[in-house]
Amino acid sequence: MIGILSFVGFTLLVAVISYLATRKTNEATSDGYFLGGRSLTAGVIAGSLLLTNLSTEQIVGLNGSAYRDGLSVMAWETLAAITMVVTAMFLLPRYLKGGLTTVPQFLAKRFDVTTKTITSALFLTGYVVVLLPVILYSGSVAISGMFDVPTLLGVSESAAIVICIWGIGIIGSIYAVFGGLKAVAVSDSVNAVGLLIGGVMIPVFGLMAIGDGSVMGGLDTLMAADPKRFDSTGESWQEVPFSTIFTGMMLVQLFYWGTNQQIIQRALAAKNLAEGQKGLLLASFVKILGPIILVLPGMIAYHYFDGGLASSNMAYPELVRAVLPTALVGFFAAVLFGAILSSFNSVLNSSVTLFGIDIYKQHINKEASEATVVKYGKIFGVVLALAAMFVAPVIEKAGSIFEYLQQANGIYSIPILTIIVVGYLTKRVPAIAAKVAIVLGSGLYIISQFIIGPSRVESALAAAEAAGITGETALRQVQADAYPHYLHVMAILFLLNVGIMLLIGKLRPNAQPYELEYTRQVEITPYRYIKPVGIAVIVIVIGIYIAFAK
């Protein structure tokens, strides 16, 4: 009962703070609703970035990966810091100079409206088919398990998951659809504090549990028990082989932190360039510490349970249940609930923005007033949320949540990153090149990862079974040898797409070179310490890899 009361209390506190902070924001305009009036400061941007990124598909999924593979999966966290620096130094100045509300807006100016529309449609398809349902499903699994909803309501596990999906979806929709970006960002910032506190509690109590009450004793015990699991360089058969760090991993990170609408929208809402850059840099420093929350608990769970869990995805919830004092369960559940809501309502708000600005205003009602655009954006958001709630239960059949999410995102991430990078680095590559890159990049990736790849792996595993090869590590090595890692495939397709775009640009260049216009919507004087601070972040990340390389 105490846990439920603390859960409700903290959740209501966040809602009240969000209301008080946003009640005077003019949300009848697109800037007010979609970008919080372009008024966000560094601290709010950093908090919103971090909590938008953190949700149960990462907290549960990445710790499950760490349970299985050890420290090498930290690449998903630490390398993000480098790409956030690149975004702050290279992409954000150009975004704010052009006064962008959405990333596809740039594509309309650089290429043409059709390119922008195709890109917006890709984003929206990915959000409704992949990202929103995954967030809802993984969050519902966590909340249902933590509060034992089946027993509490006297329903089956499947019914409990559906109930949680709709509960999270409705509450998240209220934040995102009716509150606008500023409500999302403020609630993110409040929840970020709770998530950092709650997230650190789990490894602390976990280390104390294996260290006879001592955190440092627990860390010594963990490192001494199996030093190989603290190797930062992954093997070829693991989730993140070391070689992928230099290929697709950096491309995925750059897309996510530099071009993905749900993330970069926080920086686009900055009151000026300096605040946006400081927000990204602050978030990058915190991101370096991400493995403490997203990797270390999984490694502790492997030692605590002696590697005996039936599923690696159960590592985090089982550890929480085992080591967290009962009095703190409600608070931690509220924090986790905030993380779930943050990711859901952030993606939903970005979807509403993409539809309102890039589709409704552009193609459905060009004469629409800003109030009308916001109105129909909200209607679309409700429809999208409902669609995601219906799709979410199907995710149960997809297998590994984290792997499914990363692989499926590749359908649109690499093609979009390609045309944005080429668009900014060249001046005469034509619109037809961007369209070819999007269609070819998405098509080839689908063929590679969902048709050819599975077929090759299935044949290799069948041969291994016939040869009497057994053991998880041996079978994973067979899979790794059967077909290139999907991160390598992404890098190959990126280079192929860039080459095709440059070739088309050579054969059919635009008559007039593209020039980036300064719209003067925000001040674009850069943060004066961005270079030394950015270099410091990169040096720290490289130092961490060297320190833990075996």
Residue 272 φ/ψ, nearest 5 degrees? -160, 170
pLDDT digits (tens, 9 = 90+) for 124-168: 888 788 888 888 888 887 777 777 788 888 888 788 888 988 888
> Which amino acid is residue 516, in one-letter code?
L
Please give the average per-residue pLDDT across 456-475, as a whole number.
89
Q: Which residue has the higher pLDDT, 399 or 272?
A: 272
CA-CA-CA-CA torsion sign (359, 370, 42, 201): negative
User: pLDDT tens for residues 95-124?
Assistant: 999 888 778 788 888 999 899 888 888 878
Domain that holds residue 293: 2-548
Residue 32 banded pLDDT, cuts 50, 70, 90 = very low
Amino acid symbol at 358: D
Q: Which of 51, 37, 324 is nearest to 206 (CA)?
A: 324
Q: How far is CA 119 from the centre of its chain?
A: 18
CATH number of the domain to which 427 belongs: 1.20.1730.10
214 has pLDDT over 70: yes
How many structural domains does the chain have? 1
Q: What whole-number distance in Å separates Cα of residue 323 and Cα of residue 330? A: 14
What is the amino acid identity at position 458? Answer: E
User: What is the DSSP code (8-state) at residue 87?
Assistant: I
Name residue, tokens 């995805």. Answer: 313
Range scoring the smallest mean pLDDT among 81-85, 193-197, 283-287, 535-539: 193-197
The answer to whether residue 336 scores a pLDDT higher than 50 is yes
More confident residue, 453 or 346: 453
Average pLDDT over residues 530-535: 96
For residue 188, what pLDDT is reported?
60
Residues 273, 275, 281, 284, Cα dihedral to 10°: -110
Cα 254 to Cα 53, 263, 417, distances in angstroms = 14, 11, 8
Q: Higher confidence at residue 495 or residue 3?
A: 495
pLDDT exceeds 80 at position 238: yes
Answer yes or no: is pLDDT of 34 > 60. no
CB contact at 8 A, 30 and 370: yes
pLDDT for residue 320 is more than 60: yes
Which 3 state secondary structure label does DSSP give 241? Answer: strand
272 vs 261: CA distance, rounded Å: 18
pLDDT value at 36 more than 60: no
Q: What is the pLDDT of residues 39-95, one digit of tens each?
A: 678 888 888 788 777 777 788 888 988 999 999 999 999 999 999 999 999 999 999
Question: Is 200 exposed, middle or buried, given 0-12, 13-18 or 19+ CB atoms closer than 10 A?
Answer: middle
User: Any idea what the Cα angle at residue 267 is, between residues 517 and 442, rounded to 5°?
Assistant: 80
Q: Which two structure tokens, joined as six digits, stand for 548? A: 């833990």
| In the chain, % of residues over pLDDT 70 | 88
Q: How far apart (Å, rounded) are the C-alpha atoms in residues 334 and 2?
A: 12
Q: Take residue 115 and report the two structure tokens written for it.
A: 């390119």
Q: In b/e form, how buried is each residue of 263-278, taking b as 16+ CB within 10 angstroms?
A: bbbbbbbbbbbbbbbb
Note whether 72 and 240 are within 8 A (CB). Answer: yes
Q: Are 175 and 344 in contact (CB under 8 A)?
A: no
Which one has a higher pLDDT value, 154 or 188?
A: 154
**Sign of torsion over alpha carbons 156, 158, 164, 167:** negative
- Which residues, 6 or more positions from 529, have their beta carbon under 8 angstroms from its beta carbon? none
Q: What does the pLDDT read at residue 330? A: 74
> Average pLDDT, whole number, for the chain?
84
- Taking the C-alpha atoms of residue 219 and residue 233, their distance in angstroms, rounded to an integer, is 20
Tokens of 380: 């679309």
Q: Which pLDDT value is given to residue 312?
A: 82
Question: pLDDT at position 525, please?
Answer: 92
CA atoms of 397 and 390, how far apart (whole Å): 14
Q: What is the Rg, in whole angstroms, of the alpha carbon atoms belonging to the chain?
A: 23
d(CA 229, CA 217): 18
Per-residue confidence (pLDDT) for residue 29, from 0 to 100: 47
Write the pLDDT tens digit of every residue in 378-392.
788 788 888 888 988
Q: Is 485 left (phi over 0), alpha (psi -120 to 50) or beta?
A: beta
Highest mean pLDDT among 93-102, 335-344, 422-431: 422-431
Name the band, by pLDDT with cuts 50, 70 and 90, for residue 221: very high
Whether residue 33 is predicted with pLDDT greater than 50 in this model: the reply is no
Give the span between the Cα atoms of 395 and 140, in whole angstroms.
12
